[in-house]
């Protein structure tokens, strides 16, 4: 079960919960963005309010192991992310945090008070341009995205020689040799 700090638990137990998102994109350069109206500092990094954060998915809870994609859309007026995408960002890290507002009106930005709601890697970076606006769309997946991956393996003598020239485990595949195996207890 997830443990919360006393301050966070107090806010979660209240009737009104105000929060802001903090998004860390660890591309070739690291970008810190917030959905807040002004910049916020968390873990010695300044999360920029006017960094072009346009749209992002709400957190989803899943009861099964799946790919759980997460989409972030950023206004791309400076062409920074386009240059990043050209230098290959697939597999780079994304982290999304939520900072809650305390009863006093300030965001709680202590390490124990900020909640990480998503951590994954970039799967599909794209730039869209409809001549009215240019957007960078980043789709991230969780580490479970590897469940969709398939790696074919050629079961032949030549296929094994590509892996190890000293392994002879597939040498008999083409020789129509028959082996009788007994399964279970003898």
pLDDT digit string, tens, across residues 12-59? 888 888 889 999 999 989 999 998 989 999 999 999 988 777 777 776
Helix (H) or strand (E) holding 94: strand 93-100
pLDDT of residue 154: 67
pLDDT of residue 146: 54
Among 9-18, 118-127, 159-168, 169-178, name the one with the lowest average pLDDT: 169-178
Distance CA 113, CA 51 (A): 24
Give the strand pairing for 134-141 and 70-75: antiparallel
Residue-wise pLDDT tens digits, 122-159: 888 988 888 888 888 888 876 555 555 566 666 776 77
pLDDT of residue 26: 93
pLDDT of residue 3: 77
- Could you please report the per-residue DSSP string of 108-157? --STTTSEEEEEEEEEEEEEEE-SS-EEEEEEEE-GGGGGG-------SH
Residue-wise pLDDT tens digits, 58-106: 766 555 555 567 888 888 766 788 888 888 899 899 999 999 998 888 8
What is the reported pTM?
0.69
Cross-strand partners of 26:
30, 93
Query: What average pLDDT does this structure show over 149-174?
Result: 72
Residue 136, judged by CB atoms within 10 A of its CB (0-12, 13-18, 19+), counts as buried
Cross-strand partners of 124:
139
Comparing CA positions, the residue from 73, 115, 110 lying closest to residue 95 is 115
| The two three-digit tokens of residue 21, written as one number | 């998102």
pLDDT of residue 147: 57
Residue-wise pLDDT tens digits, 176-185: 656 677 777 6
């Amino acid at each position: 079960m997830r443990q919360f700090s006393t301050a966070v638990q107090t806010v979660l137990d209240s009737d009104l919960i105000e929060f802001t998102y903090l998004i860390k994109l660890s591309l070739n350069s690291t970008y810190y963005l917030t959905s807040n109206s002004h910049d916020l500092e968390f873990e010695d990094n300044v999360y920029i309010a006017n960094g072009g954060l346009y749209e992002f998915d709400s957190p989803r809870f899943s009861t099964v192991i799946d790919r759980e994609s997460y989409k972030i859309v950023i206004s791309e007026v400076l062409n920074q992310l386009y240059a990043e995408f050209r230098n290959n960002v697939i597999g780079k890290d994304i982290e999304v945090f939520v900072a809650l507002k305390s009863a006093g009106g300030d965001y709680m930005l202590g390490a124990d008070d900020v909640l990480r709601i998503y951590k994954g890697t970039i799967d599909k970076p794209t730039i869209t341009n409809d001549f009215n606006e240019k957007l960078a769309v980043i789709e991230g997946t969780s580490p479970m995205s590897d469940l969709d991956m398939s790696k074919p393996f050629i079961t032949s003598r030549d296929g094994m020689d590509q892996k190890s020239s000293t392994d002879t485990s597939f040498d008999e595949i083409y020789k129509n040799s028959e082996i009788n195996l007994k399964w279970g207890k003898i």
